[in-house]
Amino acid sequence: MGQSYTTHTHSHDLKGKKLLLSILLNIIITVSQVIGGLLSGSLSLLSDALHNFSDVLSLGVSYIADRYSKKEASLDKTFGYKRAEIIAAFVNAASLLIVAAYLIYEAILRFLNPQEIESSLVIWLALLGIVANGFSVLLLRKESKENMNMRSAYLHLFTDMSASVAVLIGGLLMMYFGWFWVDSVLTVLIAIYLLFMGYSLLKSSFNVLMLFTPETMNLEKIHDAITSFSEIRNVHHMHVWQLNENETHLEAHVEFKQDITLSEFDVISDRVEEMLNNKFGINHVNLQPEYQRDDPKDIVVQD
């Protein structure tokens, strides 16, 4: 148990350090791109800078959430702050959509009134963005597969790197062909990509916050698996939800065929919990035993 706690704490500390380094890199990129965008007149560079600034804020939110998620439960906060990282993911996803909408608006205005752009400065700053954001993406890649909050930070950084690649291509096209309208087109493409990525993350974090049944779970299959136990007549009033990405909870009323003792219930309950964990990944189970009780027997009962 001690070893598990030490490993978990070390993992949290490492995540925090990686986030702090990514924040520092994004501050440097943002300042450089704002100055470069103003000097060159490039909207795509300024839009990339705006996106990078949103990343500074979102990474800050992710870092704070990561710190809070370590706090232990208490009498007035029985779950602790385990949902802090889900809230951070939701806020970051929403910010992606807002930034994307603003970029599209600015790109349309610039497309209607194109301006000459200092492309060489755009190219060098785009290269800076690719290198710095690419390094940050590699830093968070492992954690992004295991944690929604880190995935939101990773997506912000990955879209930044992609945006910088687009800005670099645009800078080269403007330098060699004089296609200044490419600046606006690239800005719209970056924004559309942000909308796509942001919506997916917003939806998944929203589902967790609303206590929706996880998309990977089928309540009817879970019901059938529990009622397959010979001692159980019926399972009803079921709820399945995620507290966070690591904890999936189930609570349900279980009607038994016989008027069993509490010790018999404990034995059956342990078997049911083991099955639910192995087959469905549900790791927190709360079963309410019943025998010939007159209550609704539907799988889902509106409280």
When comparing pLDDT for 107 and 226, which is higher? 226
Structure tokens at 121: 């400065």
pTM over 0.75: no
> What distance in Å separates the CA atoms of residue 158 and residue 141, rounded to the nearest whole number?
10
DSSP structure string for 204-231: HHHHHHTTPPPTT--HHHHHHHHHTSTT
- The mean pLDDT of 268-277, rounded to a whole number, is 96
Of the chain, the percentage scoring pLDDT greater than 70 comes to: 91
When comparing pLDDT for 276 and 159, which is higher? 276
Output the pLDDT for position 117. 67
Q: Residue 58: pLDDT above 50?
A: yes
DSSP-derived pairing of the beta strands 232-244 and 247-256: antiparallel
Query: Could you tell me the domains of the chain?
Result: 2-209 (1.20.1510.10), 219-290 (3.30.70.1350)
Structure tokens at 2: 């001690």
Q: Residue 9: pLDDT above 70?
A: no
Output the pLDDT for position 11. 52
Q: Residue 264: pLDDT above 80?
A: yes
Output the pLDDT for position 19. 80
Q: Residue 204: pLDDT above 80?
A: yes
Output the pLDDT for position 86. 84
Output the pLDDT for position 97. 86
Is residue 163 a contact partner of residue 51, using CB atoms and an 8 Å limit?
yes
- H-type alpha helices, the chain: 2-40, 43-68, 84-112, 119-144, 148-177, 182-209, 219-227, 262-280
Q: Chain-centre distance of CA 142, in angstroms?
A: 14
Q: Give the pLDDT confidence of 143-174 residue by residue, as tens digits.
A: 777 777 777 778 777 877 877 787 788 788 87
Q: Give the pLDDT confidence of 209-259 residue by residue, as tens digits.
A: 999 999 889 999 999 999 999 999 999 999 999 988 778 999 999 999 999
Q: Give the pLDDT confidence of 18-36 residue by residue, as tens digits.
A: 788 888 888 888 888 788 8
